[in-house]
Amino acid sequence: MILADCHVHSAFSDDCETPVEQMIETAIAQGKKYFYLTDHQDFDYPVMDDGVTFQLAQEPYVRRMEELKYQYKDKIDIRIGVELGLMAHIKDKTEAYAKAYDYDFIIGSSHMVNGVDPYYPAYYADKNEYQAYEQYFLSILDNVKAYDCYHVYGHLDYIMRYVPNQTKPYDPMAYGDIFREILKTIIDNGKGIEVNTGSLYKGFDFPHPHAAILKLYKDLGGELITIGSDAHKPQHYGYGFDRAEAVLRQCGFDSYTVFVGGKPQQLKF
Ligand SMILES: [Zn+2]
Ligand SMILES: [Zn+2]
């Protein structure tokens, strides 16, 4: 069994209503060894009609998690993380936020390209499908070259969840040169990637990133790979991890990673 779900949200995140205690109890019920919380902080997130801004007050968040870590210490090993939205122009404040607390684990993610979230139709208004994907992946390349504050890059092909035309699967190798450079930079900088099973409960038939990207990461010498559900609801905690393990094994991995005190530990399947 995979001992940790490394990508989990709670009501500390603007887009989630599940109390963190409910997520912790779910992890205990599933027999997990670790509980990771990785709530959202996205600087410069635009104010939309839904009022979601993804601002995470750092001090109350970590203080509450430290209380819970102590409270649950005999039941589960709580590890305090955060998911930071990365963009080139917010690098200084994002790096400063990351350094202001000694997180066990930081996911760096691309939720926006030039200030627009591909979750919203506005992102696609002035691009064809190829450009929509390409600009998203190029922004990741900029981020991995610029940033140091993250441990793994989250959901590398997040955009595929939201592109308007879902009638055909996207071909990651159409952007193979960009992915090669992204993954080489991640490996050279001592960072990792994640397998995110959020796509499985959003109706896709594979965890992401796409297996072709995982295979490429393996071929380039990548070893650090966390597994996360991106759960915002208890029923999605640890979702599809058997599937994630099967895909990783097919891609040649025999272990996965957890980060403790910011240091990677490899666990065998
Ligand atoms: Zn995310
Ligand atoms: Zn997330």
Residues 61-70: tens digit of each pLDDT: 999 999 999 9
Distance 107 CA to ligand 1 centre (A): 8
Are 41 and 85 contacting, i.e. CB atoms less than 8 angstroms apart?
yes
Q: Domain 20-268: what homologous superfamily?
A: Metal-dependent hydrolases (3.20.20.140)
Ligand closest to the CA atom of residue 38? 2
Domain extent listing, the chain: 20-268
Distance 74 CA to ligand 1 centre (A): 30
With a threshold of 0.75, does the pTM exceed it? yes
Distance 6 CA to ligand 1 centre (A): 12
Integer angstrom CA distances of residue 78 from 24, 104, 187, 202: 8, 10, 27, 27
β-bridge mates for residue 215, sequence order: none
Distance 230 CA to ligand 2 centre (A): 5
pLDDT band for 177, please (50, 70, 90 cuts): very high
DSSP structural state of residue 38: E
Distance 77 CA to ligand 1 centre (A): 23
Sheet holding 77-85, edge to edge: 34-41, 77-85, 105-109, 152-153, 192-196, 225-228
Tell me: pLDDT of 39 over 90: yes
Distance 98 CA to ligand 1 centre (A): 16
- Cα 120 to Cα 174: distance, rounded to the nearest angstrom: 23
Distance 50 CA to ligand 1 centre (A): 17
Tell me: pLDDT of 137 over 90: yes
What pLDDT is recorded for position 129?
94
Ligand closest to the CA atom of residue 15? 2
Tell me: pLDDT of 48 over 80: no
Distance 144 CA to ligand 2 centre (A): 18
Determine the number of helices (DSSP H) and then strands (DSSP E) in the chain: 8, 8
Residue 31, exposed/middle/buried by CB under 10 A (0-12, 13-18, 19+)? Answer: exposed
Integer angstrom CA distances of residue 103 from 59, 80, 82: 12, 6, 8
Number of Cα atoms under 13 Å in the Cβ half of residue 82: 27
